[in-house]
Amino acid sequence: MSIKAVHLLFITLATLLALGFGVWCVQFQPAGNRALYVGLGAVSFAAAAGLVAYGVWFIRKLKREGML
């Protein structure tokens, strides 16, 4: 497996982990720390969006350089 494939796999897994954590934070919300968990969920969703954007940029870069 090439380093490019490992990089794409890592980006995909990190995105799924961020989305899963965000969903968990939004659903969990204990009585005393509701705002904290909603905030953590929002940060996690933003990180997932950033990872998706980075993954798209990386794939376009590979195509542009003829490596994909």
How many structural domains comprise the chain? Answer: 1
The pTM for the full model equals: 0.89
8 Å CB contact between 58 and 11: yes
Q: Which residue has the higher pLDDT, 29 or 20?
A: 20
Percent of the chain clearing pLDDT 70 (strictly above): 100
Nearest to 12 by CA among 63, 52, 50: 52
Please report how many Cα atoms fall inside a 13 Å half-sphere around the Cα of residue 56, on the Cβ side: 5
Question: Which domain, by its residues, includes 25?
Answer: 3-64
Across the range 6-32, mean pLDDT stands at 94
